[in-house]
Amino acid sequence: MKEHLKEDLEEQSLIIRKYQQYLKLEKGLSPNTYEAYMSDLQKLLNYLRDSGVGIKDVKLKHLEQFASGLHDIGIHPRSQARILSGVKSFFHFLVVTDVLEADPSELLEGPKIGLHLPEVLTLDEIDQLIGAIDLSTYEGQRNRAILETLYSCGLRVSELCNLKLSGLYLDEGFIRVEGKGSKQRLVPISERAIKEINLWLHDRLRWRYRPGYEDYVFLARWGNAISRIMVFRMIKNLQEAIGLQKNISPHTFRHSFATHLLEGGANLRAIQAMLGHESIATTEIYTHIDRSLLRAEIIEHHPRNIKYREKNT
């Protein structure tokens, strides 16, 4: 019995190693996304081990019980959905590689998630945040260039941290960024952001950098690439300085960028390309923001509503 269990564990380890290679080589996931996939898969493997169920013996009922367990311990619906998406990816891989004949996760349903409209900054709020940066400090111009680039190009914070000097085509008005799955795209950059980056590049000549970080645009004081945590903290400090009562992060600048583009009449497909979204469905959340603004405009300015307000005041 113990020998049979040992064989099962060895086979499972081999399957997991092959799946890891698949995620890294074929799906080309970023290190952070890869770690998230494996962490979520480990939750399922722990559940199956405790339930005495082997990978090849998994049925839909086991996955539904696993999903119910996620709900019962209070995991947020969005996190549940992410975990179950990873589970589906794993079983899809098992079918593709002929480990399983049928996919037990095919009919697995995720949690119901209501529409969440991301926080959006006004142009005035963005200007206030950037204006609160003390340019007399060592990092002042760098921080100014960071915020202007985040907003001007709608970058993910990881894309900003990994931005390379070799990816700057400022004379042409573009930068090259590496998005999810190591996919590269060219993004237009505004004149104001170009100006701030050029001022930072002049300051950067005085900064020391560690070997291997020569090509990174935004450096930390100790000479390596700036981290996501550093950008997050910098934004939080600026938010506190101006007394902004919104829940913001580096990603808020990306949301604001997309929303302002849509409000200005930009095509949704163009926004999709700028943001590096594979699916137009990911970008379509911004249409909900636009519709909510449109409704507010109608409520405020439609003659029937004006007449109703006058009648009831």
Which residues are catalytically annotated? Answer: 156, 180, 251, 254, 277, 286
153 Cβ contact list (under 8 Å, min separation 6) = 175, 177, 187, 188, 189, 193, 257, 274
Helix (H) or strand (E) holding 38: helix 31-51
Question: What is the token pair recorded at 150?
Answer: 């985040």
Q: Round to whole Å and give the CA distance between 98 and 30.
A: 26
Q: Nearest-CA neighbor of 286 among 116, 81, 112, 79? A: 116
How many other C-beta atoms can be found within 10 angstroms of the C-beta atom of residue 31?
Answer: 9
Using an 8 Å Cβ cutoff, are 102 and 92 in contact? Answer: no
Q: Are 161 and 218 in contact (CB under 8 A)?
A: yes
Cβ(82)–Cβ(38) under 8 Å?
no
